[in-house]
């Protein structure tokens, strides 16, 4: 059974930093591109970042480029999102998603990041 479990969400002040993690199981992790998608409270889905199976190719949404860093550790079956210079508009539930060909076939339950003073 495919499982994606996010962790690391927290309440923090603007300008702060946070690292999200996603533990994957039930599939061959190093064969898949992985992505982060976020959803602000009461809003729609917003793609954040993608990383290919080897980690060699990475893409970011314009809204987070230069502030967020996606990475993965295939030996640990884990995906990460380092978030710096956080803003109030980064407040959202962050989902870890398996990409099976430009679409997300499995989603985690999400972890909540709240940025507020």
Residues that bind another protein (CB under 8 A): 35, 37, 44-47, 50, 59, 61-62, 95, 100-105, 107-110
Print burial letters for 60-73: b (CB count within 10 Å at least 16), e (below 16).
beeebeeebbbebe
CB-nearer residue toward another protein: 18 or 97: 97
**Element housing 12 (H / E):** strand 11-12
CB-nearer residue toward another protein: 102 or 117: 102
- Please, what is the minimum distance in Å from the beta carbon of residue 72 to another protein? 17
Residue 108's closest CA among 116, 92, 97, 93?
97
- Joined tokens for residue 20: 């999200």
- Please, what is the minimum distance in Å from the beta carbon of residue 44 to another protein? 4
- Please, what is the minimum distance in Å from the beta carbon of residue 36 to another protein? 10
């Amino acid at each position: 059974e495919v499982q994606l479990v996010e962790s690391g969400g927290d309440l923090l002040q603007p300008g702060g930093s946070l690292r999200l993690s996603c533990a994957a199981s039930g599939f061959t992790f190093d064969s898949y591109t992985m992505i982060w998608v976020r959803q602000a409270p009461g809003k729609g889905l917003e793609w954040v970042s993608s990383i290919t199976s080897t980690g060699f190719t990475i893409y970011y949404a314009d809204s987070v480029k230069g502030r967020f860093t996606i990475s993965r550790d295939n030996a640990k079956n884990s995906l990460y999102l380092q978030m710096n210079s956080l803003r109030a508009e980064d407040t959202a539930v962050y989902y870890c998603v398996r990409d099976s060909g430009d679409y997300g076939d499995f989603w985690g339950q999400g972890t909540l990041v709240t940025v507020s003073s």
